[in-house]
A and B are shown apart, each in its own frame.
Chain A
Amino acid sequence: MSINATPTGADTAVEETERHATVPAQRGSRRKAPLSENKKAERKLGWLLCAPAALVMVAVTAYPIIYSVWLSLQRFDLRFPDERQFIGLENYVTVLTNEFWWTAFGVTMLITVVTVAVELVLGMGLAIIMHRTLVGRGLVRTSALIPYGIVTVVAAFSWRYAWTPGTGYLADLFSDGAPLTERASSLAIIMLAEIWKTTPFMALLLMAGLALVPEDLLKAASTDGATAWQKFTKVMLPVMKPAILVALLFRTLDAFRVFDNIFVLTAGGNETSSVSMLAYNNLIRGLNLGIGSTMSVLIFITVAIIAFVFVKLFGTAAPGSDDGERR
């Protein structure tokens, strides 16, 4: 699921941070002078040029979103086509009072928080290594990105076999049972697979941030007698903050929609379903479009809240906006 969204996200983020590095002076100067005729024409042209893209966006995203909101307000079960009717918010009451939903929500939150935190730490390490490598830089960067290049489902199958007694070495090495049949160990394996897979992506985003740190600043800090740790926390991190926040935002949004690893590793058994798994089970397996769409809408709302918190409270640059370092 998450594979589609991330590559473009990565590009924007890198572009974004680079643009900020080179043209910081332009920031904040818009909106001051009244618009000249020329500017107005330019703006109009700008709108015209965006229009096709905007229309496509509306067709491919706004319509499905509105349609699923509409579905979520109905009793709509493919098995009972004659009983389709508008029931207002009843589906939301059903879902929000259901323990399966909250269990899945808890699991998803746990996976999100743990994986993103671990990925941030490991990704930072990896980014510094990639950034500082002198010999074979291309090779190091390429090999670090391999896990990210492997299709998630394929990687998940490798993990599944590795953790299945009889077919895999990891199961025999680390436990005497079948780790994928118990809840705690299943969740640990799901998180491990997620972290292994997306740490390189995190590292890539952070490396773009590292490129922002001017060498002069580091040298100056050394001259003042700063230790390596002080240089990291007092110089590098503040300068990198926008990049870190963008990386965290992307990863949190992705992690919250975790699906493929769970689908392959446990299929949601032993209460390891994420909210996306639950929505899939109710929509595709249960044929219950009403309840399933309600879950999709709730996931959408949660993701929107996460994005809002990042952008408004932490001051993350919304991807595509110009004022990146507003704090």
Chain B
Amino acid sequence: MSDPDEARRRRRPRVRAVAAAAALTLVAPMAACGSGDAGGPPTINLYYPPEQNLQKVVDDCNAQAQGRYEIAYRVLPRQADDQRVQMVRRLAAEDTGMDVLGLDVTWTQEFASADWIREWTGQDKAEVEQGTLAGPLDTARYEDKLFAAPKNTNVQLLWYRKDLVPQPPKSWDQMITAAQQLKDQGKPYQVLTMGAQYEGLVVLYNTLAESAGGKILNDDGTQAVMDDGTVRALEQLQRFATSGVTSPSFTNATEDPVRLEFQSGAGAFQVNWPFVYPALQEANPELAKQVGWARIPGVDENTPSKVTIGGVNLAVSSYSRHPELSFEAARCIRDAEHQKFSAINDGVPPTIEAVYDEPEMTEAYPMKDTILEELKEPATRPLTPAYQSISTVLSAILSPPSEIRPQQTADELRSAIADALQSKGVLP
């Protein structure tokens, strides 16, 4: 393949045709991945999870760039795990075909530690830090350096039936008691949330642990702590799982089944992401009128909860051939104007605080005040490059929640997390 001309002279026609076809099949995909430098503006490849209206944001940024660059939106697979595997595999191979990466907030430290993404500095950094909420910004930092720009955040809310529960509960124990009373009265009583062995269970536990003032890791994320607060959170989770107010499918429940269960009217409470609300309005408008939202209950009724944040950060690949333009493109995609557009059209909560005050937000986001309240006092998941391993062992050890034995489980978690931090953890 190195010298097609020579090959053509030497080989018989049929061999030549086969060789040419082989060469084409090999070269064609490469051309598709190439940066398109030959003529026209440089292409900035944006690898981002599926988001319905992101292409419009990209088009708008391309128009604003006035020919300096052209962003191409390459859609990542739908499953978070598949997204990550695709990116890490290509980055480990130093693929130059990726420029801007849409990372789940929990991957940022991992990619930064592996030297796969560039640090944000100078003007780019200043612009990102300007007006961005502190919680999401923390998820974009590693070792006190900024490695990504928070594009959107996300946070769960407590959804409750106003016709059954006059006042939203302040603590999990209050919520359990209220549900038990409803159960005794023969009314819908269930507390629905995600309890399957996956990231959703880790998010629930992290919210409980942070609300109880516990620490899973030390502040610089290098050591497993699992202090008293985290033990109290284990007690709370175990008490909840055995209180008889969960759904029978609690230990197998993920986001969407939980939404559907609540939508069918089985539950009095639901702890879930904001996407459930528009879906509920569409599927069961009668019920939607009865549904209110509140901050997630605390572990202690006098201490407000700290709720785990999700979301996506934009990072620039270390192997990008156009780093400056990539930073610029990433800034454009996550600027206030486009965050507002994405919030209204795709339902993803903004990371820039001022966007919440925009008048259009009230209609698209009736619960924006509660979201903002939670976002100002957020809980982040452990910020460490080993998060992926820690999350895997957390969900494995916490599942099923009804079999937690608080002190013992905490000790088990501490040693498993310590192993994960030293690359000694074996993933199941």
Complex Cα distance, B419 from A80, in Å, reads 14
Tell whether A205 is near chain B: CB-to-CB under 8 Å. Answer: no
Complex Cα distance, B425 from A284, in Å, reads 14
Q: Mark B379-391, 1 if CB is under 8 A from A, else 0.
A: 0000001101100
Complex Cα distance, B393 from A282, in Å, reads 13
Min CB–CB distance B427 → chain A (angstroms): 5
- List chain B residues, Cβ under 8 A from A268: 428
**Which residue of chain B has the shortest Cβ distance to A79 in the bound complex?**
B385
- List chain B residues, Cβ under 8 A from A181: 252
Complex Cα distance, B107 from A100, in Å, reads 24
**Which residue of chain A has the shortest Cβ distance to B91 in the bound complex?**
A78
Tell whether B113 is near chain A: CB-to-CB under 8 Å. Answer: yes
Interface residues of A in 288-320 (CB under 8 A from B): 288, 290-291
Complex Cα distance, B419 from A189, in Å, reads 34
Tell whether, in the assembled complex, residue B113 and residue A79 are in contact, meaning their CB atoms are under 8 Å apart: yes
Chain B: interface size category:
20 to 34
Tell whether A30 is near chain B: CB-to-CB under 8 Å. Answer: no
Q: Mark B388-428, 1 if CB is under 8 A from A, else 0.
A: 11000000000000000000000000000001001111111
Tell whether B89 is near chain A: CB-to-CB under 8 Å. Answer: yes
Tell whether B126 is near chain A: CB-to-CB under 8 Å. Answer: no
**Which residue of chain B has the shortest Cβ distance to A288 in the bound complex?**
B423
**Which residue of chain A has the shortest Cβ distance to B84 in the bound complex?**
A285
Min CB–CB distance B166 → chain A (angstroms): 38
- List chain A residues, Cβ under 8 A from B33: none
Complex Cα distance, B389 from A80, in Å, reads 13
Interface residues of A in 186-223 (CB under 8 A from B): none
Tell whether, in the assembled complex, residue A79 and residue B110 are in contact, meaning their CB atoms are under 8 Å apart: yes
Tell whether, in the assembled complex, residue B426 and residue A285 are in contact, meaning their CB atoms are under 8 Å apart: no
Known: A77-B423, A78-B114, A80-B113. A286 touches B428 (CB 8 A): no
Min CB–CB distance B248 → chain A (angstroms): 12
Tell whether, in the assembled complex, residue B81 and residue A80 are in contact, meaning their CB atoms are under 8 Å apart: no
* A79, A101, A287 — most chain B CB neighbours (10 Å): A79
Tell whether, in the assembled complex, residue A78 and residue B92 are in contact, meaning their CB atoms are under 8 Å apart: yes
Tell whether A95 is near chain B: CB-to-CB under 8 Å. Answer: yes
Tell whether, in the assembled complex, residue A285 and residue B81 are in contact, meaning their CB atoms are under 8 Å apart: yes
- List chain B residues, Cβ under 8 A from A79: 110, 113-114, 385-386, 423
Tell whether A94 is near chain B: CB-to-CB under 8 Å. Answer: yes
- List chain B residues, Cβ under 8 A from A95: 426
Tell whether, in the assembled complex, residue A100 and residue B114 are in contact, meaning their CB atoms are under 8 Å apart: no
Interface residues of A (CB under 8 A from B): 75-81, 83, 90, 94-95, 98, 100-101, 181, 268, 271, 273, 278, 281-282, 284-288, 290-291
30 A-B pairs whose Cβ atoms sit less than 8 Å apart in the complex: A75-B422, A78-B92, A79-B113, A79-B114, A79-B386, A80-B385, A81-B114, A81-B115, A94-B426, A98-B426, A100-B426, A100-B427, A181-B252, A268-B428, A271-B428, A278-B427, A278-B428, A284-B85, A285-B85, A285-B427, A286-B388, A286-B389, A286-B425, A286-B427, A287-B88, A287-B110, A287-B388, A288-B389, A288-B423, A288-B425
- Contacts A282-B427, A286-B427 aside, 9 further interface pairs with beta carbons under 8 A come to A75-B422, A75-B423, A81-B114, A81-B115, A94-B426, A268-B428, A285-B85, A287-B388, A288-B427
Report, nearest first, the 10 A-B pairs whose CB atoms are least far apart. A77-B423, A79-B385, A98-B426, A286-B427, A100-B428, A281-B427, A94-B424, A282-B427, A100-B426, A78-B114
